[in-house]
Amino acid sequence: MPVITPELLNRFDVPGPRYTSYPTADRFVEAFGEADYLNALEQRRISSGQAAKPLSLYVHLPFCESLCYYCACNKIITKHHDRTGPYLRYLSREVDLHVQRLGAQQAVSQLHLGGGTPTFLSDEELGELMDMLRRNFAFAEGGEYSIEIDPRTIDPTRLATLKTLGFNRLSFGVQDFDPLVQKAVHRVQPAEQVFALVAAAREVGFDSINVDLIYGLPKQTPESFDRTLAQVADLRPDRIALYGYAHLPERFKSQRRINTVELPQASAKVAMLARSLAAFEQAGYVYIGMDHFALPDDALAVAKRQGRLHRNFQGYSTQPDADLIGLGVSAIGKVGATYSQNAKDLIEYQDRLDHGQLPVVRGLAVTRDDLLRRAVIMGLMCQGRVQFESIELSQLVDFKRYFAAELKRLAAMQDDGLVRVTDSAIEVTPMGWFFVRGVAMVFDKYLQAAQTRARFSRIL
């Protein structure tokens, strides 16, 4: 691992997008609605015919029993589990409307259940959901079928049921093992519980197990987070996602319950990140990019070595770039050259479906410039390399002329050792991978205004 100085970490500790899409979701507009989305679905059906690329499905299940104070997700806090039955019926209506446009049994190679807390649903309800999806879509052999897990809502028996339902990948929300930190964010889950669940998941035979961690939470110190890092190394999940906490109480009401006095200073956050990078390297993990790590034999690490990484709204993926159908309240989709998002409010989501409409309330039809910049940004984020000739042939531009200003801005990053710019390519260096969001930001035309950057979390 390259030596990364605190000075460099501090300099790049700035707000910026995660680039699960380009343009990013803050650019979506309400002028894009259901009619535009229906047209995108129709164009897919007409243009692809029998040779349609497999779909990716995302299903948003918003219910949680208790509030995690750090959470910035679209969720509904409730103890009433009877609310999930009606929600599943609305999901079924939404799928029916898609099938009417696309045709039945479209191939699916990737499914992700997120939230909220997907395991808020009972085993029977999860079975009902999977049966409904299989009646309408054809799930491919060897696909990635994942679900987010709140350890407080599951036991070994339920894990076995999830495997039977067809899930082959799990993501456990851990965040931090320290009891004081867990209490401060209102998410108490003993480390012993997580260790037992991961052991049970391995025994059942899941292909990959991910653990989510967050640094920068209240009560955290570099020393306390060191203890969590050591426990994660002992746990040895196949993948680790390490996120920096973004405290934006003006945007996310739940975060107003966090005592800002208890948040670590910026220098402590940088120290936690630096020590995390060292700890994961020592434990044998491969740095995938941004905030993702994987064991060398995990499919994600293999895909990175082979140049097959892709990126979508769930993060890094081994699946080829696919149209994404977002199902459920607030879900985001990507079909052709469009992005779309469903209503964030449950009542509005249901009302539109009651009237036989898809619940798309905003989105974006991307421009030629957007497509060009997306190709460059995703090349940097996923392969760490952009070959000028390949962009010129696919996009019909003179790369150096079109991006003259951007190449000039990269000169400072080259001096810092983050990129290498030659006559034919831009290449992210081993050290540059840790700042890849900052490198990608150079090509984002929407980030020129300082007020635009303020909308995003910090890149470290």
Query: Of 325, 358, 390, which residue is a domain's last?
Result: 325
Residue at 344 is within a domain: no
Same domain, 308 and 429: no
pLDDT attached to residue 289? 77
Distance CA 25, CA 338 (A): 11
Outline where DSSP puts E strands in 26-121: 55-61, 63-64, 76-77, 106-115
Same domain, 158 and 288: yes
Same domain, 286 and 417: no
State the CATH number of the domain containing residue 409.
1.10.10.920
DSSP structure class, residue 365: E
What is the C-alpha end-to-end distance of the chain, expressed in Å?
17
Identify residue 130 by its one-letter amino acid code: M
- The mean predicted confidence, pLDDT, of the chain is 92
Distance CA 184, CA 73 (A): 18
User: What range defines the domain where residue 393 resides?
Assistant: 367-447
Residues 6+ apart with CB under 8 A from 363: 28, 29, 32, 33, 36, 37, 338, 339, 340, 341
Distance CA 182, CA 233 (A): 19
Same domain, 314 and 415: no
Same domain, 254 and 168: yes
Task: Show the tokens assigned to 102.
Answer: 């696309």
Domains in the chain, number: 2
Residue at 332 is within a domain: no
Same domain, 418 and 275: no
Residue at 420 is within a domain: yes
Long-range contacts of range 421-429, CB-CB < 8 Å, 24 or more positions apart? Answer: 424/387, 424/388, 424/389, 425/385, 425/386, 425/387, 425/388, 426/380, 426/385, 426/386, 427/384, 427/385, 428/380, 428/384, 428/385, 429/2
Q: What is the pLDDT of residues 231-288, one digit of tens each?
A: 999 999 999 999 889 898 998 999 999 999 999 988 888 889 889 988 999 999 998 8
Q: Which residues pair with 171 in a beta bridge?
A: 148, 210
Distance CA 163, CA 50 (A): 31
pLDDT < 70: residue spans in the chain: 1-3, 48-51, 448-460
Residue at 454 is within a domain: no
Residue at 352 is within a domain: no
Separation of CA 335 from chain center: 17
pLDDT attached to residue 321? 74
Q: Which of 337, 421, 404, 401 is nearest to 374 (CA)?
A: 337
Same domain, 308 and 372: no
Residue at 278 is within a domain: yes
Residue at 346 is within a domain: no
Same domain, 282 and 153: yes
Same domain, 50 and 143: yes
Same domain, 76 and 206: yes
Asked if 111 and 133 count as a contact pair (C-beta separation under 8 A), the reply is yes
Query: Of 325, 350, 384, which residue is a domain's last?
Result: 325
Q: Which residues pair with 55 in a beta bridge?
A: 108
Q: For residue 446, with 0-12 CB atoms within 10 Å meaning exposed, 13-18 middle and 19 or more buried, which class applies?
A: middle
Encode 360-381: b = buried (16+ Cβ within 10 Å), e = exposed.
bbbbbbbeeebebbbbbbbbbb
Distance CA 394, CA 224 (A): 49
Residue at 355 is within a domain: no
Distance CA 181, CA 217 (A): 7
Same domain, 317 and 373: no
Same domain, 192 and 272: yes
State the CATH number of the domain containing residue 197.
3.80.30.20
Query: Of 267, 293, 325, which residue is a domain's last?
Result: 325
